[in-house]
Amino acid sequence: MPKHQVINPATQTLLYEYEYTNHSQCLASIEELSTAGTKAQNELFPKKRYEILSSLYALVLKNKEKLAFSITRETGKLIIESRVEVDRALITIQVAAEEAKRITGESYLAESFSGPIQNLAITVRKPLGLIFCITPFNFPLNLALHKICPAFISGNTILYKPSECNHQTAQLLVQLCLEAGFPANVIKLISPTIETLNQIVSHKKIACVSFTGGTKTADKIAALMGRKKLLLELGGNDALVVFPDADLNQAVVQTIAGRFGTGGQKCTAAKRIFIHDDVYDQFKEKLLLSSKPFHDAIKQDPECETSVLGPLISTASALKVKELVDDAIDKGAVCLLGNKLNDAYFSATILENVDANCELFVEETFGPVIPLTRFNSTEKLIEQINQTPYGLQAGVFTNNLALTKKFFSEIEVGTVIMNSGPGYRQENLCFGGVKDSGMGREGISYAVNEMTYCKQLIF
């Protein structure tokens, strides 16, 4: 079986290599999950699942530094950001543990329309079965737990496939799950090749595929999997809008945090910045001043506590961002800052006058690039925001509630955030998009509903 090499994107050195999970091993995991695993889940009660997740919380907390450094070395994420991810993961586990005790149905009178007969209807939530969880590289711990935790507490079994570059982090997570009390036949880690993944995704015993990643990959999975439930958390081309009454300092802070944080490699990063004419020059001046430390940070060590910008996931990814920026400049954009490439590092970059039809503006750019756009017409702005195929989130800086309500009504996204960037996400809240940004919703209780079905008794 071929091996996969995991390269540290910061140093370009080999971290480790591992053997792919072969086809027969994947089939064996599916069989065990759908038989012995299902039986084990049927014997677990809500209180026991709560206790298991409470133990997992304690174990993740105990292993916080080990997990954080594993994430940083595999992805290039700053160590301070990796620690924040572990903190977020702890909240995810905590919310899920509490939710384990709250999965209930309802009862109500079902009055007959044909006569005086009254029936009582009782509904309960039942697990779908085997949930195939496929996660991306950028948040390898927290996004995995956003799938594993709701699947577990709702009585499903879990087939877990991480990104190819997150194998050790995923192994550590599954090890902690088992140590916390997950039955060994309820969660299985696999790392197949793309060819093997294509073969097993349509397996009849997989009830649901929960995928976070790129739109093109999602389309391939959807074409292969047949009539299964499909939950998709895909890309975003999120807008951040600044009106004249905005707190410009806070808008600048959120723009930088959303676009330079994680190297801009997150679906909710503010990828298109729209600034009203009245405050454009003032905002630009503040942004350039605040961005200088990030621009000067090329080739910083992500394991250093004082670093502010790490590498992208690979040299190929950084080169792709460079190509998008150069293409935008060729089409008339002006580079105000950055556009420097060094292996997997791409410098913090700010552009203006970006053509609204260039790929950098229309598609999702996974890198630390801020394209600034002037506007003066709210109607035209909404039309421009909606021209992208994505519809995940949007941030609107204004104190005008009526204006915010208009944006909420007319922008084609899953969430609008007032006076903050589009990167806002909270573990207990609904999360997901429309159009090419996916289908279904995450957020623990919402994911539980997605991973269960309603079963009804009438008498």
Catalytic residue set: 233, 267
Asked if 129 and 205 count as a contact pair (C-beta separation under 8 A), the reply is yes
Going by C-beta distance under 8 Å and a sequence separation of 6 or more, which residues neighbour residue 406?
378, 382
